[in-house]
Chain A
Amino acid sequence: MRRFTVILLVLLVSASMTCFAKGKAEEPTGPVKLMFWTHEDAARAKLEDGFIKDFQEQNAGVTIEKVLYGSTKIQEAILTAFAANQGPDIFNMSIEDEYAYIANGRVAAIDPKVLGLSTTQEILDTYIPNVLDPVTVKGKLYGLPLELTNWCVYLNRKIFRSAGLDPDKDYPKTWEDVMAVSEKLVVRNGDIVTRRGYDFRYPYYLVDFVPMVEQLGGKLISDDGKTVIVGDQAWLKLLEYLREWGPHGKNLGSPTYKAARSLFNFDKNEIAMASTGLYQQGRMRTDNMEFFNSKDWMVIPYPQWKDAVKTVASCYYGHYYMVNGQAAPRTQQTAWKFIAYMLKHPVDYLQQVSLPQPTKQLMASEQFKTMPFSNVFAEDMGRAHIVYYGANSAKLQELIKKAVEGVMLNNVPGDKALETLKKDAKELFSGN
């Protein structure tokens, strides 16, 4: 009987292994169902629901099922789905998260004919230079941009005035100014900060902190690609600045407080300045239309160090729509057709969701130029470069996070934190 039980168990395990090993089925004929996974954004969801409805009406037999995930949850949802060979047909994420899908051959290249064009070059010519570089490999294009975003600093004029500052004259131009102005704006109850002047976008170290290092002559990766974390003095200056910023220094802010960007729109005297993109305006309209329509906010450029050796603004990043390379060919073609249909409405994305698609036409359009403070974003974009993307970008960001948390929160000396960062980054790039 015991032998029988063992045999039964082995059979059950084998059966379950067979079940799990099964991949995605092909669908050569019949209706096409597209699975579309994207991140939550109420205004964009409304716009794209309309596109889905219209596309389904125009293309009989096509159904599109949209699934929304939180902006930090979507990365793991898509990754685990692809790991089980059950990835969605269409998805979008930021390029630093998406690049691994191109590198591992998980996404499908665009057939220009599906978009009604003859060559890939014709697609490239539609967009401003270099924005499709991250999704172009060996002449093939693997993604189309939903948005290209850079961050500037949103400023609450009312809070500036309440602290006796003139926002038009006293807004910070340098990182030294940011600290000095924040000291005037901060309000505390004992040790507890109840109003911050400015606070950083903490988890986004590659986008928002690396340019601070580059202004001082440092680099994330050397030009020859062989050394990681280049320019000790620049990195040390950043770490020391952040220590001074945190609870063990001047106590102006910290990663443990609620994200500054999330608080800004509500105008509740909690944050005077926050780093965010043009898209913030769409969210401000949803969160607090009165504040959006007031003249109580403005946007200023990304600050520079007083002794900066190079002018660099916050990195820009793209969210690219991609198509699952494991989907059936007909599904892939329909998916690209649907993506192209959505992206044919850049003005709607700009006006209703404040997401700029980097097409030459939109960037030169009156609609873009008349968006509040779009000139500030456009000028900063000219001084910026795309965020670092690569197979190790997420881990590298985590290592920088560890160093920053060490100096800001756990009193780790800057040189020690830098030494650990360099050692870990070197190990990461050596493939261990």
Chain B
Amino acid sequence: MVGKLPARSSMRKRQDLWGILFAVPALLFFSVFSFYPILNAFYTSLFNKQVLSLAAPTFIGLKNYAYLLQSADFWNSIRATAVFTLGTFSALLVMSLLLSALVSQTGRSRKFLQMAYYSPAVLSSVVAATIWLLIFDPRGLANQAVNLLMNTPGVDHDWFVNPAMEQLSTMIVYFWKYIGYFVILCITGMASIPPSIYEAVRIDGAGRWQTYWRITFPLLRPTVVLVSIMSMLQCLKTFSTQYLFTHTGAPQNPINVITLNIYNTGIRDQRIGRASAMSIILLVVMVVLTWFQLRASKSEEVDY
């Protein structure tokens, strides 16, 4: 017994080494494309740095952060991001659960519905935003459809003019683009629930509604947590829809989300130090919210 221990230990070490070797490509990728940019952004945020300047940037400590926390423009971006995230994330979460339940109940059309819901997700965000720009044009489909439904011919519903409608427009585009992706995730989660549980429930005489709320929904919690974290992070990072809308005439203020503000500050205004500070604040917000969600979901872990 005593003599076997060193052999096991050396085997373990070898396994660990192989594990690390296999992880190196992923670590390298993460280091180059995520970790280094994060560190670099934090470092840059401590300087007054202009993109084009060849002069050494001036170290200003936390002044970029202090400026941002006093800036009405930055707080407007926080508001715009919060409104967009809450509006889109909650709709995505609720609808992906409902639609996945509906799709998994359908028979022959199931594959078609999955494909139909998922198809917008394969479009690039810019193409999706361009399609919706045409739809939201005053002479476009959005006004025509709403006017037909409400019998209000000739009314312009101000999709880009009214601040509330403009925010709603960006939410619609995002919802349309990503709902299919999250529906597929939920369907995959449902498929992982053992059929024997459903058989037992059926024998006990439970109806469809009861089965969903008492069995499917509770057992789907890990998927719900995954979907909620992913959709929240996606929403916080939204950019291309707002970018394209504001570049084609929609007012910037109502939809000036943090990512758009980072872009404008860094690229248009060339203040890369300040833009880096904003991106670090966004990162902190994302990490904190994810931590809260993970912590809240830990007590709800599912074991079959």
Contact = CB atoms under 8 A, between A and B. Distances in A.
Interface of A: 1, 4-5, 8-9, 12-13, 15-17, 19-20, 72, 75-76, 79-80, 82-83, 100-101, 104-106, 188-194, 202-203, 247, 254-258, 394-395, 398, 401-402, 405-406, 409-410, 432
Contacts of B47: none
A192 B54 contact: no
B268 A190 contact: no
Given A9-B35, A16-B32, A410-B163, A255 B249 contact: yes
Contact of B138 (A4, A256, A395, A432): A256
Given A9-B35, A80-B267, A394-B269, A190 B53 contact: no
A123 to B, nearest CB: 25
Contacts of A17: 36, 40
A189 B269 contact: no
Interface stretch (B113-121, B151-159, B222-230, B233-241): B151-159
Contacts of B250: 255-256
A79 B52 CA distance: 7
A12 B31 contact: yes
Given A9-B31, A16-B32, A189-B154, A409 B39 contact: no
Nearest to B52: A104
The 3 A-B residue pairs with the shortest CB-CB distance in the complex, in nearest-first order: A190-B154, A255-B249, A12-B31
B239 to A, nearest CB: 13
B161 interface: yes
Given A16-B36, A247-B161, A82 B52 contact: yes
Interface string B13-53: 00010001000100110011001100110000000001111
A278 B28 CA distance: 53
B54 A104 contact: yes
B125 interface: no
Contacts of A1: 16, 20
A217 to B, nearest CB: 29
A104 B163 contact: no
Contacts of A409: 160-161, 251
A398 B264 contact: yes
A255 B250 CA distance: 7
Nearest to B265: A395
Interface of B: 16, 20, 24, 27-28, 31-32, 35-36, 39-40, 50-54, 67, 137-139, 143, 153-156, 158, 160-161, 163, 247-254, 264, 267-270, 272
Nearest to A100: B52
Contacts of B163: 410
A12 B28 contact: yes
25 contacts: A4-B20, A8-B20, A8-B27, A20-B40, A76-B267, A79-B270, A80-B267, A82-B52, A83-B52, A100-B52, A106-B54, A190-B154, A191-B155, A194-B139, A247-B156, A255-B251, A256-B160, A256-B248, A257-B249, A395-B269, A405-B251, A406-B253, A409-B161, A410-B161, A410-B163
Contacts of B251: 255, 405-406, 409-410
A202 B154 contact: no
B247 A256 contact: no
Given A13-B39, A79-B51, 11 more contacts: A8-B20, A12-B28, A12-B32, A17-B36, A79-B267, A83-B51, A100-B270, A191-B155, A203-B247, A401-B252, A409-B160
A72 to B, nearest CB: 6
Contacts of B54: 104-106
A13 B154 contact: no
A192 B269 CA distance: 35
Contacts of A406: 251, 253
Contacts of B153: 189-190
Considering residues A8, A13, A203, A257, which has the most beta carbons from chain B within 10 angstroms of its beta carbon?
A13
A75 to B, nearest CB: 8
A396 to B, nearest CB: 10
A104 B143 contact: no
A410 B253 CA distance: 10
B176 to A, nearest CB: 20
Nearest to B19: A1
Contacts of A188: 154
B28 to A, nearest CB: 6
A101 B52 contact: yes
A261 to B, nearest CB: 13
B249 A256 contact: yes
